[in-house]
């Protein structure tokens, strides 16, 4: 199996500069030129994070799972204002898993790295084992190129709250996957949301650009705008106030899917995860970098207030994804 995977993980020289020693030995050797390494890890488990077969008839491919494993980890590095340098991947597989499915997973990993623009990143190695269900764990390393990391805790009253990437698109895709509308019946406008659930497209150039522009705080929106926004508010001891007009603009893009399923599109915008966009705050006098749009502001807490997310000053209940409640 490894002999079939390794050739599919090879990358052009431009993607492998940080990986000094790749797959084949007991460990990889990765360069850390500025003395700091940014690290993140994420896991996808069959029937928890993905299904091989969905109610609407869609079949999850190995390519889908490989792409998503790369994308969600690359996004975490992006959210620190860093760029990824290498991935290591651990696969747990039932023995009946087709070899072609695992080959497709390796293809998905490398395709995501290339197509999402993660120049300088490559798969440095990993592990292969047996289990009852498919589990894919990817750990990613990154570099700040000598700069500082952008944390969740730096938002300040008066800052502009901005979003890069999409919001609610992956949630619309998940709703379509779980619906009774056959995948073959979906038109192109609806199908794009399903594709973004299975193969998210985080804006990887936006993180370093936000850091260079002076972003005060930033995080990856993986569990929903409200839930992740509350995490930033709590870390920064502030309130994040969302602009309802901008939420409507974001929701209007989702109309093809919301009309089909009879759903409020703004609910997807607020509570849908897995788009892997970036939520960031900037000083009011800073020009937002390309790809970011203002969606609200950062407000100071009164003496008796707790950190929160509000919409036009009104409290908003944080929904979103909770790993242990689903």
Query: Cβ distance 190 to 176 under 8 Å?
Result: yes
67 is in an annotated binding site: no
40 is in an annotated binding site: yes
Query: CA 320 → CA 86, 145, 201, 252, 316, distances in Å?
Result: 30, 33, 19, 19, 12
Closest CA to 87 of 58, 57, 65, 66: 66
Do you know the residue count of the chain? 326
Provide the angle, in degrees to the nearest 10, between the axes of the packed helices 188-198 and 62-78.
70
CA trace torsion 128, 26, 123, 145 (10° rounding)? 140
The CA distance from 189 to 258, in Å, is: 11
Q: Any residues with CB less than 8 A from the CB of 263 and at least 6 apart, and which?
A: 172, 175, 257
The CA distance from 14 to 85, in Å, is: 11
264 is in an annotated binding site: no
152 is in an annotated binding site: yes
241 is in an annotated binding site: no
306 is in an annotated binding site: no
Query: CA 241 → CA 5, 147, 162, 187, 232, distances in Å?
Result: 47, 29, 11, 35, 12
236 is in an annotated binding site: no
159 is in an annotated binding site: no
Closest CA to 166 of 71, 39, 58: 71
Radius of gyration of the chain (CA): 20
303 is in an annotated binding site: no
The CA distance from 259 to 193, in Å, is: 13
Binding-site residue set? 26, 40, 42, 49, 76, 126-127, 152, 220, 222-223, 274, 321
Which residues sit in the known binding site for Mg(2+)?
26, 40, 42, 76, 127, 220, 223
Can you say which residues are annotated as belonging to the binding site for substrate? Answer: 49, 274, 321
- Residues contributing to the annotated binding site for ATP: 126-127, 152, 222
């Amino acid at each position: 199996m490894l002999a079939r995977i390794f050739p599919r993980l090879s990358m052009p020289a431009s993607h492998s500069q940080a990986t000094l020693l790749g797959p084949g030995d007991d460990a990889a050797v990765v360069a850390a030129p500025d003395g700091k390494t940014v690290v993140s890890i994420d896991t996808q488990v069959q029937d928890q994070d993905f299904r091989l077969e969905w109610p609407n008839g869609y079949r999850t491919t190995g390519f889908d799972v490989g792409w998503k494993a790369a994308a969600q980890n690359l996004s975490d590095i992006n959210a620190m204002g860093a760029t990824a340098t290498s991935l290591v991947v651990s696969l747990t597989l039932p023995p009946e898993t087709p070899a072609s499915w695992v080959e497709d997973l390796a293809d998905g990993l490398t395709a995501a790295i290339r197509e999402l623009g993660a120049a300088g990143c490559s798969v440095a190695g990993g592990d292969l084992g047996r289990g009852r269900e498919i589990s894919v764990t990817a750990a990613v390393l990154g570099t700040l190129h000598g700069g500082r990391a952008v944390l969740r805790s730096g938002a300040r009253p008066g800052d502009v709250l901005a979003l890069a990437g999409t919001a609610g698109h992956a949630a619309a895709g998940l709703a379509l996957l779980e619906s009774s509308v056959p995948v073959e019946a979906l038109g192109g406008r609806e199908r794009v949301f399903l594709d973004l659930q299975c193969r998210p497209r985080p804006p990887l150039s936006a993180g370093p650009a936000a850091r260079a522009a002076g972003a005060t705080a930033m995080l990856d929106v993986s569990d929903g705008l409200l839930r992740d926004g509350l995490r930033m508010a709590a870390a920064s001891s502030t309130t994040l106030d969302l602009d309802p007009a901008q939420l409507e603009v974001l929701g209007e893009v989702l109309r093809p899917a919301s009309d089909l399923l009879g759903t409020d599109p703004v609910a997807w915008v607020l509570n849908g995860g897995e788009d892997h966009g970036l939520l960031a705050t900037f000083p009011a006098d800073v020009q937002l970098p390309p790809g970011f749009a203002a969606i609200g502001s950062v407000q100071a807490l009164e003496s008796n207030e707790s950190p929160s997310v509000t919409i036009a000053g009104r409290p908003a209940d944080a929904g979103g994804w909770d790993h242990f409640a689903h």
